[in-house]
Structure 1
Amino acid sequence: MSEFLLVILIIVVLFLIFNNLNSKIRRLEKQISDLNLKITQPQQNTSIQEEPKEELPDHVSTSNPTESISIHQDSHRETIPSVPEKDWLAPVFDFLKQNVLTIIGIFTLVLGIGYFVKYAIDKNWIGETARAGIGLAAGAGIMLAGHFLRKNYAVFASIITGGGIAVLYFTTTIAFREYHLFTQNTAFVITTLITIVSIALAYYYKSEILIIFAMLGGFSAPLMISTGQSNYLFLFTYLTLLNIGMLAAAFLKNWKSVGWTAYTFTSIYLFYWTSEKTELLSIVFYMISYFIFYVFALQDYVKKNTLSQWNTLMLVLINFSSIIGLIYTFKTLNYEPVIIFPLLFAVANGLLLVREYGKKNFGFSYSIFAALTISLFTVAVALQFKAHLITSVWAVESTLLLYIWKKSGHHIFKKCFYVLFPLVIIAQIITWAEYFNAKNMNIVFNPVFLTSLVTIATTIFNLFLLKRINNTQKTEDRFFENTFAVVSYGVIYLAFLLEIIYHISDMPGPAIMSIGLLFSIYYIFILLLLRKKLDIDGFIHTGLIYLFLILAAFNASFAASEVVTSVLQKELTFGFYMIHLLYWVPFIYILWKPSSISHFYKTNISYWAISITLVISISCGFYNTYVLGSVNELSPIYKVKEHFTILYLPIIWTVLASIFIYISLKKTIPEYSRIGFVLIGIMVLKLYSYDVWQMDNISRITAFIILGIILLLSSFTFQRIKNLIKNIVDKKEE
């Protein structure tokens, strides 16, 4: 008991010290205010007196005073520095910097009271009822201290009062859960009364900080007094009343943070209820919550006929979060039609759109209501065709956020877009995983691909929006936009590729690989053709060309060899091999029209990449065609391959080398000459080190004669071209 008396004595001493210091501080504040009053009074007196007029120089005309005033104002306006726009988190950090000690102090005080009560319990000084009484008295005392400090220290008093509210909540919780001093209904009534008193005090003190404490306590109260039994009707009736009080406070005091706090807790409770125990009753509370927070989001629109960035974000979130919960409930309970909710919300936003249209007001509000209406209608259409809920809703919502950013310029929507878009990708990947388990799905008209179509449509729309937004930005400032573009093109590619592979999965492996490569080559080719409209440039354009060349070389070599083997094994027909050769169409177009990839030819390595791909494609193309035309089964294929490699491959390389050197001389591209001579060197090295020892006499003589003739003709052609160029240069000098 002596420790208890010692603690009380210390508290009394601290109170006396604080009271003494507080009195001194008040006297100092009064002296400072008196000094300020004495300093400001003479300045006010001198400002009343008429200032003497400055004599103007003779060359300054005073005939037009308005002009001189305007010039002075303009020069003054130019010298005023523009006020930098503050970050939206700056007020939060300012508040924390100024009040961090107060927050830590009240938190420490609450913990101290708690540890003291625990210590008293361990010593058996007080019983259970007395413990609860001490806690309630301590909470009330802290709130009373905050009440007396509110006039001179408003923020400090609000935090103190909030700490007292926290003590009352936790004391009631402990008294109910640990000591069983009263029933659940009594505990709920007490916590409700604490919430009502807290909200009333916040309104009376005009303190937004205090009402946030009250809302946190009000939404936490059901968890504090929960016994594990799920009485959702009672719970959400209480939450609805709490949200109505929030709505009233938000409209009366324009406290935005209160609405966001209520929305966060309400959404968590609703989603938990929906996932834990899906029942039809939850739909009623989803609709009630939608109405409350929709009205909250429109408070500035009702008062000022405008929408702020936070109100716009709330409109987006409440529409799409409500749709997710409502449609999930309908689908789980097998109710139809699921599209009734997005259509209903689309009508609600459409009415506001019609209102703006009737007033001929085509500003930001009109754009937002139009975007919401179209987005909700799009979600309804996607769901009607059995698209997956989460993926479709998030895809449409991300596009809506990007559109709002474009219309408003508020970067909060851009940040939300960059947070939501990765979630769209993750949801889409989970949707694609169903290809591995689903059977007998229809072509195109199946839930997985219809969901992919929604993602594709929104992604394409996003790309065009970003293109318009970024027209004025520098390339080095577009890292995230370029990353988004790469990911977007990848998503579109995978959506189509996986659908194609699913429907040809019964074909042999080489056929699946060949069709997948053909699609990949043509997809990249289409992107290259549309590069200007899609704003594809820089490293994305270069990367696409390199990827195209790699796929073309791989398709001509490894994939073609596998297809030939399958044809000889009678798994595929010769007609499929001809289809496989369609990859030459885009390749020939690129070679025939180098202007389509002119940006690519800025480095020497690009000429080597094109040339190597061309050599591989032509060599493997002739090789595979020769094999299929020479044999009908696999057994003699080794001899045919050996014969082609020794006899025909050096001829093909010699012709290609000659073509490279000819192009180099004609178009003055030195790199092609190097490529040609390197290819000739490889061919000669192969010929004299290996091929001649594998040939019979007739083949050896034939090969040498043909190669000799080709080399002589090439040399003669090069000499003529050199002489022609020399004559042209000499004529110009004359």
Structure 2
Amino acid sequence: MDAIYVIFFIIIIVLLITNNNKLNSRIGELELKIIDLKNMIRGLNVPKPTVENQKTVIEPEVDYVVKPVSEKAPDIPLPPPPKAKEPEIERHIEVINDPFSNIRKTPKPEPVIEEPRLSFFERYPDLEKFIGENLINKIGIAILVLAIGFFVKYAIDNNWVGPAGRVGIGILCGGILIAIAHRLRNSYKAFSSVLVGGGLAIFYFTITLAYHEFHLFDQTVSFIILIVITCFAVALSMLYDKQELAVIALVGGMSSPFMVSNGSANYNALFIYLITLNAGLLVIAYFKSWRVLNITAFGLTVLVLAGIVYTLPVGAYQISFTYITVLYLMFFLINIAYNIRENKKFITSDFSILLINTALYFSTGLYLLTMMHDEQFRGLFSASIGALNLLFSFVLFRTKRAEINILYLLIGITLTFISLAAPIQLHGHFITLFWAAESVLLYWLYQKSSIKLIRLVSLLIWIAMLLSLMMDWSQLYISQDVRFAIIANKGFITTVFSAICTWVLYAFASKSHENGPLISPAIYNYVAIILLFCSGALEINHQFLNRYPATDLNILYLMLYLPAFVYVFCLITDRFFTTKMSRGVIVGIYAATITVYLLLTPEFFSLQSSMFIAHTADTSHFVAHWIGAIFILLIFYALIKVCRVCFQAYIKPISWILSAGIVLFLSLEICLLSNLLFYTKGTTMDHIETVYIKTALPVIWGVLSFALMWLGMRYKIRVLRIISLTLFTITLVKLFVFDIENIPAAGKIAAFFCLGVLLLIISFMYQKVKVIIADDGEPKS
């Protein structure tokens, strides 16, 4: 029976899938067939359904109504079912009487509609808008202008029109384009602007051809016509409120003098024209915030002036200086007019143009003064620029409409050029002083205004100061024949001032909390230390080379200055400054100082020998060496303290290195001391040193070994005891292998006696404290 139901379910599903449109009409027929099946089932002996079967059958929810059909079902007589089994059979039939329940309950999956692939311009709508609204119309107007040009050329080649007619056709075509643009100005603003630009271009080229090719107008008339076209373009730009038209007018106006040029240089007329053109630009800048126009005007004017200034005749320098001053003032007003009128905020481009305008005016003025042989007025010229900017800042401050940043900028320019007057008027090393002060001033202005451009300029000027300082060193200290006053000379003062300014920059930078500084404040600090050190080192080196030539005393005093500077500076920094250098840097400085000192020890022996034998210098100068040696001992002590506190993880290699350095240092210094004590005219330095190496040196090493052993036992540092035993071993090997021959009996007795006593003492110490050293703890701090 289950197989019959499955077959019918499959048939019904196939019919539903293949013929959904006829489903409603066949529902009635299917109901008739179901009734027939019921009648047939009643006549069969159906077994009682078990509990397991009932669990597997899901009772459907009948939620549809069977529509009546036109044909009446035939009555088929059925045998009466057994009464006892009827309820169970009927219940079973009710359970399975809806074969469509699973189909009705299972929702039909919705068909997946694949979205159509977007086109390139649908994915980039802004690009489509740019091409459709901007690029195509500009290409179109360019093609149209070319077409008109080809048509006019064709007409000219076939002699259809004369020269006047040709010019008229060009003007007519340009006028038609402008008229069409004016008609479309409200509905199609961008398109109308392009048409106006094309019309203006036709006007410019037509008048240029009329002058050069057809000679219909002379130079003056052609120039006046071009000026009228420029004024017309400016009026249209104001009417349409289009910056693009103003830029076109500007380019056309700048090109007009060259369009009607006949090769002769009329500098006065050209300067007057540039001033007139920029005066119109000043009027526009007062009413419109068109920064692109201002930048374009500034750039084109600078290009034109660059070609003019360097080709001026001798007699035109003075009047050109006046014209350039007027243009400088005009561009200053152009770039502040609208912002002051509307009380708007200045942006980076505004500050950039103001700074570049001032710098170019200053450099051009210096050039013109030099060409006029009036170099004595360069300092006055620099001070006048500072005074002029001070006047500007005062006027803007009184108006109370200027942004605070522009006031800071003008004050910075004022101080800069007033300070620059002295170095320009005097000598080159004052440039270094000025740049050092200016870098500090600009960084202070940056902190007050938060204008990042000023911080960048401060960094660039600081770098320029360092380069200028190195040039000063090469000029001042390269010659040994020029004698300077001690300390009170331009080289020392300039270097100290540069170091102080650099340290002030470090103080400013370390207090500021801006994101992404250009350089780390620590760089300023380290450079300031280096400059401060160089100020004294260069002074000592130059003074001794100049006053004591061919004596090498400069090395002696430099090796006093180096450890003294390092020790005193690190001591002051550690005790009196809140911002301290890192311990790693301090260790590096100490180690480098000791290394340089030890590497130059052969020079000390050579200098001592020349003092005793050749009498190149008084032996009293060697006191500077002993003072330097005391500072080296202090540096050793400070280095040991720092390493014990901060570098416990590397205490073993550090102990070996420091022990070796101390042993080497003391061995060499005591050798120099023995030379000083035992040298006489009857003995040679080689003999004294040989005796010292074979007799005194083993004793010294033995004493040092004993000191290391005592420290190792006192502080329970095993590595020091190992170093002590190693040094004892080296001393014994040296004594029995190399020193036993050719030494005096007294020296041999003294060496062996001292070493023997030291070894016995050490052995006793080991026996005395063997319980303590058996289990070494952490070294005491």
Do both share a fold (TM > 0.5)? Answer: yes
Which residue of the partner structure matches residue 282 of structure 2? 247
Aligned residue type for 2:326: I
2:450 equivalent to 1:409? yes
In 2, Cα distance between the equivalents of 1:364 and 1:192?
A: 38
> Does the aligned pair in 2 maintain the 1:385–1:450 contact within 8 Å?
no
User: Where does residue 383 of structure 2 map in the other structure?
Assistant: 343
Instruction: Please state whether the residue corresponding to 2:552 is helix, strand or coil.
Output: helix
Contact 1:357 1:366 in 2 (8 A): no
TM-score (norm 2): 0.62
Distance across 1 between alignment mates of 2:263 and 2:681 = 74
Task: Measure how far apart 1:406 and its partner are.
Answer: 1.8
Deviation at 1:615, TM superposition (A): 3.8
Could you tell me which residue of structure 2 aligns to residue 295 of structure 1? 333
The whole-number CA distance in structure 2 between the counterparts of 1:95 and 1:618 is: 80
Aligned to 1:619: 667
Note if 1:651 corresponds to 2:699.
yes
Q: Secondary structure at the match of 1:572?
A: coil
Determine the C-alpha separation between the residues in 2 that align with 1:225 and 1:634.
99
Select the residue among 697, 703, 713 that pairs with 2:751.
Answer: 703
Deviations 1:217-247 (A, max 9, x none): 6567778888998765555444433443333
CA contact 1:283–1:329 (8 Å) conserved in 2: yes
Cα distance, 1:293 vs structure 2: 3.8
Structure 1 residues 707 and 463, CA, compared in 2 at 3 Å: closer, same or farther?
same
With over 3 angstroms needed to count, the CA separation of the structure-2 counterparts of 1:182 and 1:662, relative to structure 1, is farther
- The match for 1:73 is none
Match of 2:596 among 551, 556, 573: 551
Return the match for 2:614 from 556, 564, 569: 569
User: CA-to-partner distance for each residue in 1:444-494, whole Å, 9 max, x for gaps?
Assistant: 777766665664454233222112115x879xx886444454455445555
Partners in 2 of 1:132 and 1:675 — Cα distance? Answer: 104
- Secondary structure of 1:571 counterpart: coil
Corresponding residue for 1:510?
552
TM-superposed deviation, 1:403: 2.2
| 1:465 has 2:490 as partner | no
Structure 2: any 5+ residue segments left out of the alignment? 1-124
The 2-side partners of 1:305 and 1:634 are apart by: 91
Provide the C-alpha distance between the structure 2 equivalents of 1:459 and 1:203, rounded to a whole number of angstroms: 51
Percent identity between the two aligned chains? 20
Question: 570-579 or 584-593, which moves further after superposition?
Answer: 584-593
What secondary structure is seen at the aligned counterpart in 2 of 1:587?
A: helix
Secondary structure in structure 2 of the residue aligned to 1:336 = helix
> Per-residue displacement from partner, 1:428-448 (whole Å, max 9, x unpaired)?
444444337777374477776
Q: Does 2:400 match 1:386?
A: no
Distance in 2, matches of 1:238 and 1:430, equals 44
The superposition leaves residues 153-185 of structure 1 with CA deviations (integer Å, 9 ceiling, x where unpaired) of 766876887788789889999999999999887
Secondary structure in 1 aligned to 2:669?
helix
For 1:67-89, what per-residue CA distance to the aligned partner results, in whole angstroms no more than 9, with x for missing partners? Answer: xxxxxxxxxxxxxxxxxxxxxxx
- Counterparts in 2 of 1:271 and 1:641: CA distance versus 1, 3 Å: farther
Matches within 5 A, 1:474-623: 480-487=520-527, 489-491=529-531, 493-494=533-534, 497-498=537-538, 501-506=541-546, 507-508=549-550, 510-516=552-558, 518-525=560-567, 527-528=569-570, 529-530=572-573, 532=577, 536-537=581-582, 540-541=585-586, 543-555=588-600, 557-567=601-611, 568-584=613-629, 586-593=631-638, 601=647, 604=650, 610-623=658-671
**TM-score, with normalisation over the residues of structure 1?**
0.65
User: Per-residue CA shift, 1:258-284, capped at 9, x if unaligned?
Assistant: 444444555666678777779445543
Matching of residues 131-146 of structure 1 within 5 Å: none
Equivalence for 2:482 = 440
- Greater share of helix: 1
Q: Is the 8 A contact 2:328 2:358 kept in 1?
A: yes
CA distance in 1, matches of 2:738, 2:208: 90
Structure 1 residues 280 and 702: alpha-carbon distance in aligned structure 2, compared to 1, 3 A threshold? farther
Deviations 1:312-366, CA, capped at 9 Å, x for gaps = 555555555544544565567344354334433444454536985998x996566
Higher deviation after alignment, 699-708 or 108-117:
108-117
Read off the aligned partner of 1:336 and give its amino acid letter. Q
What one-letter code is carried by the residue in structure 1 that aligns with 2:553? A
Are the equivalent residues in 2 in contact too, given 1:510–1:566 (CA < 8 A)?
no
* Structure 1 CA distance for aligned equivalents of residues 738 and 169 of structure 2: 100
User: Contact 2:502 / 2:527 at 8 angstroms: preserved in 1?
Assistant: no
**CA offset at residue 496 of structure 1?**
5.7
Q: Are the counterparts in 2 of residues 211 and 258 from structure 1 also a CA contact under 8 Å?
A: yes
More moved, 135-144 vs 420-429: 135-144
Q: What is the deviation of 1:535?
A: 5.3
Quote how far apart the aligned CAs of 1:618 are: 2.8
Give me the CA root mean square deviation: 5.7
Of stretches 369-378 and 719-728 in structure 1, the one that deviates more from structure 2 is 719-728
The worse-fitting range, judged by mean Cα deviation, of 226-235 and 610-619 is: 226-235
In 2, the alpha carbon distance for the partners of 1:399 and 1:97 equals 51
Q: Which residue of 2 aligns with 1:56?
A: none
Equivalent position of 2:241 in the other structure: 206
Q: CA deviation at 1:672?
A: 4.9
- From the superposition, tell whether residues 661 and 573 of structure 1 become closer, same or farther in structure 2 (CA, over 3 Å): same
SS in 1 for 2:455: helix
What is the identity, as a one-letter code, of the residue corresponding to 2:694? I
Deviation at residue 593 of structure 1 after TM alignment: 4.7
Q: Is the 8 A contact 2:335 2:350 kept in 1?
A: yes
The corresponding residue for 1:425 is 466
Whole-Å separation in 2 of the counterparts to 1:368 and 1:231: 37
Check whether the contact 2:590–2:635 (CA below 8 A) recurs between aligned residues: no
How many residues are matched? 630
Tell me how far apart the structure 1 counterparts of residues 771 and 363 of structure 2 sit (CA, whole Å): 77
Aligned letter for 1:576?
H
Give, in whole Å, the separation in 2 of the partners of 1:138 and 1:635: 112
Change in Cα spacing, 1:699 to 1:377, as seen in structure 2 (3 Å) is same
Moved more, 144-153 or 129-138: 129-138
Q: Mapping of 1:307-346 within 5 angstroms?
A: 308=347, 310-314=349-353, 316-319=355-358, 322-327=361-366, 330=369, 333-336=373-376, 338-346=378-386
The amino acid that maps onto 1:250 is A
For residues 478 and 637 of structure 1, do their structure 2 counterparts lie closer, same or farther at Cα, with a shift above 3 Å needed?
A: farther
Give the match's secondary structure for 1:440: coil
Residues of 2 paired with 1:104 and 1:513: CA distance? 77
Q: Secondary structure at the match of 1:620?
A: helix
Contact 2:499/2:529 (8 A) holds in 1? no
Residue 390 of structure 1, CA deviation: 5.8
Q: Secondary structure at the match of 1:647?
A: helix
SS at match of 1:339: helix
Partner amino acid for 2:582? D
Call closer, same or farther: CA 1:305–1:527 in 2, change over 3 Å: farther
SS of aligned partner of 1:386: coil
1:143–1:331 CA distance, 2 compared to 1 (3 A):
same
Q: Quick check: 711-720 or 699-708, which moved more?
A: 711-720
| Per-residue Cα deviation, 1:82-103 (whole angstroms, up to 9, x for no partner) | xxxxxxxxxxxx9999869967
Change (3 A) 1:522 1:181: farther
- Greater alpha carbon shift after TM alignment, 250-259 vs 446-455: 446-455
- Provide, for residues 36-86 of structure 1, a one-character-per-residue CA deviation record: whole Å limited to 9, x for no partner: xxxxxxxxxxxxxxxxxxxxxxxxxxxxxxxxxxxxxxxxxxxxxxxxxxx
